[in-house]
Structure 1
């Protein structure tokens, strides 16, 4: 079986909410997700962020992986399938300064081990991170522009095509000191 779209999360949330006999307003209050946002999600008019999905699944007493995996039917042929996520359905997060956007490319069920992102950073952008779990490493490959990476006392400038691999269990940052937008792929490997 070939899947051509991601799970219908909104339909599933509505179904579970109805099973638990919760109104939109009750789930909104319980999850701290606005009633209008919840309505849009259930009607498939917007795609929730990972943070919103987390809040909703915690409020519904379920694992986020169950919500995302429940549409996967047995294909009867050994489990071979293709998961297809449309570009507009890829969740994004932004840095505190709003100048760095990270598209979350990795599946949610691997988030504790491996994360990967398509990163876009405007001039002057800064992605400042506290140290992650001990032993965590980041791998950053610049696709377009230039970026500066610093961890501890070491700082390095990366140009298009360059890759930096560095310890990410200490405070570190990525900065665009240039006058042009930069794009990179970032992979975070946890121990």
Structure 2
């Protein structure tokens, strides 16, 4: 499948999953908008597959409906292969933070994350009681959690409560690659 068709398929998956959730909960678009902080127009466009939502919008929806972010994507295959640089990818508005989903279960999801050289990414607040585990695969990174700064080099790992303020900073001239796992405690 070419990249354009694959992207459209992903957008449609998000819309179907969101509409299914909303209908199962007997919610209107207004109700969902109030719950997530995302406009009714944007939610309607997502449900119809007419827009490709940003990572920030997807986080707001995920947090608002108390579902892991990857629950918005279906995968019914008995085995799934996630090759680096292929398939589903999301970026923030600045395009300096890119994530690729790798694995999901009911309460755990894992992704590969890429932070561009000399840049910082500060994610939206995660679900309450979420644990984030980040391992540096290539490069080095500075992670700030609740004002405390940690420097991680290749293969170093940190675990922290992800519902508190945190950020990732790459002070190098090379892209940093991380594996990030989120453990949800709903």
- State the TM-score, normalizing by the size of structure 2: 0.60
Corresponding pairs, count: 138
Gaps in structure 2 of 5+ consecutive residues: 25-70
Within the alignment, does 1:172 sit opposite 2:166 as a pair? yes
How far apart are 1:183 and its partner, in Å? 0.8
Contact between 1:47 and 1:89, CA under 8 Å: does it hold in 2?
no
- State the TM-score, normalizing by the size of structure 1: 0.59
Deviations 1:76-111 (A, max 9, x none): xxxxx534456675311112320111111124xx3x
Within the alignment, does 1:96 sit opposite 2:96 as a pair? no
Question: RMSD over aligned Cα, in angstroms?
Answer: 3.3
Match among 166, 178, 181 for residue 184 of structure 1? 178
How far apart in 2 are the matches of 1:190 and 1:167?
Answer: 10
Contact between 1:99 and 1:124, CA under 8 Å: does it hold in 2?
no
Of 86-95 and 160-169, the range deviating more from structure 2 = 86-95
Of 125-134 and 55-64, the range deviating more from structure 2 = 55-64
How far apart in 2 are the matches of 1:126 and 1:49?
Answer: 30
How far apart in 2 are the matches of 1:189 and 1:162?
Answer: 19
